[in-house]
Amino acid sequence: MASCTACHGRRGEGDAAAGYPRLQGLSAAYQIKQLEAFADGTRKSEIMAPLARSLAARARAQATDYYAGLKAPAHPTAPASAPRDDRLAVRGRWSQEIPGCVECHGASGSGIGAAFPPLAAQPAAYLTAQLRAWQQGARQGDPLGLMQRIASRLSDEDVRAVSEYFSAIPVGGSAPPAAAAAANTGQAPPPEADAGGIESLGGAGGERVFVPADKPIPDDGFGRMVRLGRDIFDDPGRYAGRYVGNSLRCTSCHLDEGRRVGSAPMWAAYVSYPAYRAKNGHVNTFAERLQGCFSYSMNGRAPPLGDAALVALESYSYWMARGAPLDPGIAGRGYLKLPKPALAADRARGAAVYADKCALCHGRNGEGRSANDGSPGFPALWGPDSYNWGAGMVSVSNAAGFIKANMPFSLGNSLTDQDAWDVALFVDSHERPQDPRYSGTVEETRRRFHDSDNSLYGQRVDGHVLGSNSVPPGRRLRRAASAGG
């Protein structure tokens, strides 16, 4: 233990000046994995290698349990007052397949499970050193090679910005004032990535698609509504909680805060409504379309028309879509249309793909994972905290298109079409919350709503008829209500 405390401190607080990381509250499994990596050289450190090799298994367990059990003081470091550039940390740079760091490390950098360690309050020098190590191969063994790949796409300036951003978040705190916010306080906005517009080349295949302008949201009456819409979009459970019944966020299906082609971008949806929808047999306004997301994908309940949540999301979508032409056939709308695979989709093959590529984030039983501070993490893909049987994602073709284009994060378009179909079938052949349009029997509900939607609702899988054991919709809503939440 004495050998640990020399650098990491008696309470595992680390040493910001020297760049030694904080160990307080780090999961024991993560710590042990790192010690093994130091010992076998997949994580290179002249200091840690001999120490790790010398630690017997029992001593490792004692030390890591000790640090894992320590609670950090609420604000061990003074919160940074200067705004930080949050663009890469929060939003990522999806044009290079770089998700925001917060997608896997939690909105406040608190980490998610054992595989995605906390970044908040780690010394900037430590974070920078680690990103360099990933870039140079001095650190390896990351699951799916995620960090090596992502780090390799970062510039020196990216590394600096990200390290500063997370080092400025106190443990148990929330994100520091960001540059996007700073733009609204009279400070200079970040440099613009591009002006956006329909002329931009944004498609994967070089097709001409609209790219939203990357402009700061103005600080006026409209801008405040746009910002509320973005907040809801990022974390609907927090900002529109009474309408949300599961663990999903808008960004779960609409990546890059609704901008990304291949994940039903909001700018394309906005310019496509009002439109007739076969799903409910009448002309839907954009507001009604948003209601559908709450009822089905969020397994919640529809905000009434005119509710601030809907107005905010409509404002946010409009703001993002400015400059796009009204056009229901706009390029980039919806999900990737994947050609049918050579072999019929197969659940057993899908299960293998899932275990290999998906379980890391979404959990072995599709249950998803919250961040370590309880904020949203990875969405549940089936079960009571996932989308219900009325959602568009129960369509296996929708799911396959989404998965192919976007999954795993930073590895979009790496799965074969066959893998995408197989794993989509596997995911969508599990039980999930009942269809809110449930008419009393699974058979009739299937006939009325699912005969043409390419879903497995009402079909028999391993002896179980899907939909016959669904939890009622809004389970989480009622739970929250009975808890007074």
Contact 268/334 with Cβ under 8 angstroms?
yes
Beta carbon of residue 43, minimum distance to its own copies (angstroms, whole number): 49
Beta carbon of residue 303, minimum distance to its own copies (angstroms, whole number): 11
Q: What is the DSSP letter of 184?
A: G
Q: Nearer Cβ to its own copies, position 103 or 314?
A: 314
H or E element, residue 150: helix 146-152
Beta carbon of residue 334, minimum distance to its own copies (angstroms, whole number): 17
In whole angstroms, give the CA distance from residue 1 to residue 483. Answer: 43
Q: Nearer Cβ to its own copies, position 315 or 429?
A: 315
Beta carbon of residue 226, minimum distance to its own copies (angstroms, whole number): 9
Question: Which residues lie closer than 8 Å to 227 by C-beta, 6 or more apart?
Answer: 217, 316
Q: Nearer Cβ to its own copies, position 312 or 405?
A: 312
In whole angstroms, give the CA distance from residue 385 to residue 2. Answer: 44
Q: Nearer Cβ to its own copies, position 278 or 348?
A: 278
- Contact residues toward its own copies (CB under 8 A) are 220-222, 225, 270-271, 273-276, 281-283, 285, 287-288, 305-306, 311, 314-315, 318, 321-328
Beta carbon of residue 376, minimum distance to its own copies (angstroms, whole number): 26
Q: What is the DSSP string of 125-143?
A: HHHHHHHHHHHHTSB---G
Contact 162/170 with Cβ under 8 angstroms?
no
SS3 283: strand
What are the φ and ψ backbone dihedral angles of 20, each rounded to 5 degrees?
-90, 135
Q: Nearer Cβ to its own copies, position 6 or 275?
A: 275
Beta carbon of residue 361, minimum distance to its own copies (angstroms, whole number): 35
H or E element, residue 313: helix 308-321
Q: Nearer Cβ to its own copies, position 226 or 456?
A: 226
| Apex 286 CA angle, 229 and 243, nearest 5 | 50
Q: Nearer Cβ to its own copies, position 188 or 222?
A: 222
Beta carbon of residue 273, minimum distance to its own copies (angstroms, whole number): 8
Contact 91/180 with Cβ under 8 angstroms?
no
Contact 479/418 with Cβ under 8 angstroms?
no
Q: What is the DSSP string of 178-212?
A: BHHHHGGGTSPPPPPS---BTTSB-STTS-B--B-
